[in-house]
Structure 1
């Protein structure tokens, strides 16, 4: 018996229930329950929503390069255009007839277009994309279309139309844009499961590339950012997904204490850039004294540095730790034939160029059709008036008779026309006014027809040579609108800046060897070195364990520390020599190894792992140097000799896990170094990376030469000091004037300005190995004293220029500096280079100096001979006068 309160199922529900299994046991295994109404809603509505966002809001169309809101704004501005500025609020209101998403979206899109100034001519405060300042309210700013936009974007005769969202008006499906607008302006949009990010490209380069495409040439285009700067496009990948662009600000070194940022990367504002610099300073990545934003008409951010910071190193640090360098990931996605399409910017430009050609073809065809209509009617008009056909209709009584009469009268001339005569043509003839008939001029009519024929022939020629016509069109755009749109972004390849190499040494590392702690807060313990807070620290213990840890305030690494230092990854030339005992009372083994790669915070055992193993001897050799050590045996050892000499040169450099070679089976009390050996790696090639100020073996910077372990560097500093010292790969050489491999055989020649005496001097001296590691001040410490020229070659020459007073003459004189001054001590001031006020000092190559000096001496001899001849003639003349 059924329940009276139970609802009665309708017919559809009853049929559904009949087909459903009554219980789970009766249900087949592949039974799929029907979807609920909510599931159907999500499945259908979400797909519709996603399609709408992709097609109608976020992603631009290939045909005109515009999103719907941008297209509607420009169409509205064209409708109300009268050549004068319109209030932006009025433009927004007019656009709302076409755009269903409100005034805020229209305002944002219009401001974005106006800030690019290509299509919209803005007036008022439209904000600043450099600083991030917003535009003023819509009621305070004005805009109008640019002449360029009017020329390339609008032509109602070739535009396809659709009904607006409310059905009251018609709006363009796409504007007939005859220019690669999408690539010129760039675009960014995020849709449902889809995004696009196309960079702006240079106006003139796009037009040139379009011409080359029409000529059948392959093209390659790269972005050009409105803020300028420098960019590395080596991984641009045609603007497709997976590509990368590295963009850098322009940073100038004003002086030793000041940097000036003249441009900022694309997508970054001055405020966000300053915030990133302040944050890097607060985190200890860089050191700055003050930052000042002087941006007005020109962008300028001044960064003041504290003393002791090399400006070139700080430039690289700004690139490494701040928004002075950013990485951009492009993603070229557009709407083509009502669906998303991923392609390269070159393919996009080719499609856009071909689309422009088709629009130009349509415009030509429309113009041709109009001209043909004009020619047709002009010919009919001529026949109608010249043959006085208008008089024949006087006797006609009905309209039909009039039409028939004119048609029959024009029939004999139909073979001279290009198309049949229609009733519309005849009606139009009847509308000609008597005044025009009375003033008809046969000659002018013929000229008009010939002019129309010339125009028709010209357009037909353009249609036959459509590519050449399009090329001329692109060239005319460049000529009319390309001035002032030259490339702003400098294209160059960036070297990778290692953060560890430019990080400021803002920390001091301390160690408590006994208790096994290291860190930056242990200021009462042993000082190790200065380092940055991103360095890795390698620690070796007495029991043969080593590990690499991040620097921190305080960390326990293990007791009995025997060595601690900053660890450099992939340093294959740094070799560790070690002698250890295998277990308690075990054999003595020796090994040479390096540490090039590790897992941070993991413990590694350098011994065989036997309990009680101990390290007896341990040294670090930056260039793989060998050495000879002496092992002192225990007095109770049964060996006859109680000392054993062992040479590490006999061992090959192996991995850290190698057991090593047997040295002796007898117990050893201590190991001492007997002598230092040479590097087993041979000479190493070194370069100097000037911006970073580091000597390296990674081919960065200027090549210094091949160095053995005993070779030294010669370094002149801008403060007038000179130094010779062994090279250090992990040391920053700051404020360097000149750095090269030291040759003790060559004397050094220095031209310097003495600030005390206000004169220029030359000095020549030699440095010996005894000066190694000493900083020698070779100029006076006066603030105006400075180095002018340094010569390390054996025989230097210079050419000096000065103005001679009597007779007044500009003189160029070559000076052999070897003959000019003898070798003296490095403390000597030297000889004054010239008694004249020197205008220029030009260093010369040795061969060039010899040739110029010989030429100069020959000229002097010739002048002396001329003077002698002149004196001789004068004496003879005087003698003759005396005889008279």
Structure 2
């Protein structure tokens, strides 16, 4: 039986190894792959591509595949990553001169294969990026080649190109900036002046840099596509937001359309070398509102969070873009100084040898070579012969100098021109003085350098991205009403799925819904398919946060047998899914009357009391306009302590709020308060809108936003009761022009002012402005003569008469044309907004102010 021997198994903890390995890996990813160096602005792969291109540079284009293959000597991560990095640099159109299909930054199309496309360095790159004399070198990964630690870039390249990378535990995102603005900022910095720099993108678009925070962590910018309106039914995207291409943008628009956020008929992509995305709209859709909706619900607006993380030395740092520019500029100055010092040293060496050569030839020291048997004897003899003449040289003569002298060609010695040699030495001395001057005035030299770079390469690099402060778009105001909303009042359900119950309105899926119940309970909920609110729902509406113009009028009973109160209130902010008791917490409280008024209207109601011997009047009229708008939690004013039979509406009311600005959107023929279209003015109370059509029909309508104006109008404006309407019309029956001025009555009925119904009759001009003038251009008479034009003041020509009057004959002679001049309108003086009583739980109800008049005894 064999004897088995077991060696002791040794145990070793691996936790320490994992820790070291992870740190090594993290450091490698951060330093050697993901994060750029602050000095040259390159990640390692980009730096190696540029170095490889400089190696291959001969002025002609190289196949990208050839460049990638050469770069693999320095970058051990495969050809695909090198090709992708090279394409990204080439698409920025700064360092690489490209040929072939390098992809499209607008459409997102990828570049052709590396074997088909070609590249070479741009003149800018050759001048600014490379200088072997100032480059620090290190061995490549396999030790066979040298590669630059940092390229000696004399330009804030990191900020010009931008960069994005993800390391282990940190990331970087530096946005690209404008070429010329960076150079100007560097000059300002060197002059000791303040500067600001902001991003600029190849895809142009618009940018809000309000919260840019100089590119630091925590900052944010908003980029938008440029959207123009081609006509009433077509929008066109002509510029893209940063980081988005046309495909991504169109996908986001289609998704928003499918979700009902926007409403479009068709989308066409005609992008080639310029962006052109046409969005066709339906006839009932507002272009202005759609533009806002595109920014709110699609990638037409994107938010970008910059994060300026760079490698400084051998560790990452988080900086501002201003600090990066300052350090880049300082680094450029140090490189320029280093180049000048190298140049000065080279000039001094040239001067030294030129002077030594002149001494050697003019004094025929070369004759000392004769008779010498060895190099050492030759060198020693020449050295001895030179000593009497070398006192004025800048350094001692070395053996290397003597060797160079002995290597001078015989023909050069024999054809030596003393004057030409003297000129050469003087020229070198002049250059040396110039370099010394530059070194003594280094900042001025650096400023000239930056200025010259801008003159040479900045002609076609103007800012593309427009800086603009964006308005914050309220999504609830621009989203389409894409859902139908229903209510089951008896059972207390609301929602979009109750299609068998009562339809109340259209809304969007992001709206809030406000509900009021018979017992005075209010609740706000989100739009859902089906939501239980509570039985006996009195009112359902779309709730807008901060809405001070919607006023609710209410009469309720406090408790089962308590007194009756009335109040007016608005609801500006609430907590969703919370019950608010607006009548009273007492059991049995009930609303007897409720109205929701979108523009603060105050109606008159009649309160009918139950028969009671103590009551003098069984009927009470209440005008809500006499009641102040209080907080929703206030008790309100006392109506009566006696039992109420019912409350009836007596008369519709008008708005009691401050004036409201109203616009008219000609595309959808609707009024709005959101600033879309033409401003009609500030409206309040019973202010009206005047419309006049081509048939001579004038009509006054309210400024309710639900009104539609589907006809074509000659006039659509805010009505001024004291402003006369002027009209010049052609009477087809009589064949002459008439003029009339009249006032309109305050009625909602159509008022016709065109006396003639002849088919050839037409309105030449109608307007409401004072001091309009009419220039009459006469037709030629039978003899071919043309009467001199006349200009009249319409207000002075005729007085105000009745609307049915025919008016005065305007002109006897035949008219060729009538040119009307309307004075610039006088701006409307806005009334100040009235401060409304804030909502508070501590408000004191105004009891007894009106209620005491309605009861005989208390």
> Is TM more than 0.5 here?
yes
Per-residue deviation at 1:613? 1.6
Is it true that 1:191 corresponds to 2:167 in the alignment? yes
Q: Distance in 1 between matches of 2:54 and 2:158?
A: 19
Distance 1:730-1:223 versus aligned 2 partners, 3 A rule: farther
Per-residue deviation at 1:450? 0.9
Contact 2:208–2:223 (Cα < 8 Å) also in 1: yes
Distance 1:295-1:625 versus aligned 2 partners, 3 A rule: closer
Contact 1:569–1:597 (Cα < 8 Å) also in 2: yes
Bigger Cα displacement from structure 2, 250-259 vs 184-193? 250-259
Equivalent of residue 567 in structure 1, options 543, 553, 565: 543
Aligned runs of 1:311-350 on 2, under 5 Å? 311-350=287-326
Quote the residue 2:333 is aligned against. 357
Equivalent of residue 379 in structure 1, options 355, 365, 382: 355
Equivalent of residue 482 in structure 1, options 446, 458, 461: 458
Bigger Cα displacement from structure 2, 618-627 vs 184-193? 618-627
Per-residue deviation at 1:409? 2.4
* SS at structure 2 position matched to 1:769: coil
Distance 1:689-1:819 versus aligned 2 partners, 3 A rule: closer
Quote the residue 1:290 is aligned against. 266
Quote the residue 1:709 is aligned against. 685
Q: Distance in 2 between matches of 1:200 and 1:762?
A: 65
Contact 2:206–2:465 (Cα < 8 Å) also in 1: yes
Contact 1:795–1:846 (Cα < 8 Å) also in 2: no
Q: Distance in 2 between matches of 1:404 and 1:308?
A: 103
TM-score scaled by structure 1?
0.82
Q: Distance in 2 between matches of 1:559 and 1:828?
A: 62
Is it true that 1:124 corresponds to 2:100 in the alignment? yes
Equivalent of residue 126 in structure 2, options 120, 145, 150: 150
Quote the residue 1:746 is aligned against. 723
Q: Distance in 1 between matches of 2:682 and 2:411?
A: 101
TM-score scaled by structure 2?
0.85
Contact 2:286–2:665 (Cα < 8 Å) also in 1: no
* SS at structure 2 position matched to 1:470: helix
Distance 1:339-1:799 versus aligned 2 partners, 3 A rule: farther
Quote the residue 1:260 is aligned against. 236
Per-residue deviation at 1:507? 3.4
Equivalent of residue 279 in structure 1, options 248, 252, 255: 255
Q: Distance in 2 between matches of 1:571 and 1:242?
A: 32
Distance 1:96-1:738 versus aligned 2 partners, 3 A rule: farther
Aligned runs of 1:740-779 on 2, under 5 Å? 741-748=718-725, 766-771=743-748
Distance 1:647-1:821 versus aligned 2 partners, 3 A rule: closer
* SS at structure 1 position matched to 2:645: strand
* SS at structure 2 position matched to 1:37: coil
Q: Distance in 1 between matches of 2:815 and 2:502?
A: 57
Equivalent of residue 424 in structure 2, options 431, 445, 448: 448
Quote the residue 1:389 is aligned against. 365
Bigger Cα displacement from structure 2, 722-731 vs 827-836? 827-836
Quote the residue 1:540 is aligned against. 516
Distance 1:230-1:661 versus aligned 2 partners, 3 A rule: same
Equivalent of residue 684 in structure 1, options 659, 662, 672: 659
Contact 2:164–2:173 (Cα < 8 Å) also in 1: yes
Per-residue deviation at 1:505? 2.9
Aligned runs of 1:237-248 on 2, under 5 Å? 237-248=213-224
Contact 1:316–1:692 (Cα < 8 Å) also in 2: no
Quote the residue 1:633 is aligned against. 609
* SS at structure 1 position matched to 2:747: helix
Q: Distance in 2 between matches of 1:431 and 1:4?
A: 81
Per-residue deviation at 1:777? 13
Bigger Cα displacement from structure 2, 547-556 vs 573-582? 547-556
Distance 1:44-1:139 versus aligned 2 partners, 3 A rule: same
Per-residue deviation at 1:329? 1.3
Q: Distance in 1 between matches of 2:494 and 2:487?
A: 4
Q: Distance in 2 between matches of 1:752 and 1:177?
A: 76
1:5-33 CA distance string (max 9 Å, x none): 886477xx8xxxxxxxxxxxxxxxxxxxx
Distance 1:84-1:535 versus aligned 2 partners, 3 A rule: same
Distance 1:139-1:595 versus aligned 2 partners, 3 A rule: same
Q: Distance in 2 between matches of 1:486 and 1:288?
A: 35
Distance 1:364-1:584 versus aligned 2 partners, 3 A rule: same
* SS at structure 2 position matched to 1:173: strand
Q: Distance in 2 between matches of 1:687 and 1:473?
A: 57
Aligned runs of 1:447-596 on 2, under 5 Å? 447-522=423-498, 525-596=501-572
**Structure (1/2) with the larger helix percentage:** 1
Per-residue deviation at 1:410? 2.3
Contact 1:797–1:817 (Cα < 8 Å) also in 2: yes
Q: Please, which runs of 5 or more residues in structure 2 have no aligned partner?
A: 732-736, 755-761, 827-858
Bigger Cα displacement from structure 2, 444-453 vs 41-50? 41-50
Per-residue deviation at 1:183? 1.0
Distance 1:86-1:298 versus aligned 2 partners, 3 A rule: same
Distance 1:474-1:712 versus aligned 2 partners, 3 A rule: same
Contact 2:600–2:655 (Cα < 8 Å) also in 1: yes
Instruction: Indicate the structure whose relative CO is greater, using CA pairs within 8 Å and at least 6 residues apart.
Output: 2
Per-residue deviation at 1:384? 0.9
Quote the residue 2:734 is aligned against. none
Q: Distance in 2 between matches of 1:7 and 1:752?
A: 120
* SS at structure 1 position matched to 2:125: helix
Distance 1:603-1:177 versus aligned 2 partners, 3 A rule: same
Q: Distance in 1 between matches of 2:343 and 2:639?
A: 99
Q: Distance in 1 between matches of 2:343 and 2:197?
A: 34
Q: Distance in 2 between matches of 1:85 and 1:737?
A: 66
Contact 1:797–1:846 (Cα < 8 Å) also in 2: no
Equivalent of residue 142 in structure 2, options 161, 166, 170: 166
Q: Distance in 2 between matches of 1:235 and 1:804?
A: 68
Bigger Cα displacement from structure 2, 409-418 vs 227-236? 409-418
Contact 2:776–2:815 (Cα < 8 Å) also in 1: no
Q: Distance in 1 between matches of 2:698 and 2:314?
A: 71
Per-residue deviation at 1:406? 2.1
Q: Distance in 2 between matches of 1:156 and 1:789?
A: 80
* SS at structure 2 position matched to 1:172: strand
Is it true that 1:300 corresponds to 2:300 in the alignment? no
Q: Distance in 2 between matches of 1:753 and 1:125?
A: 66
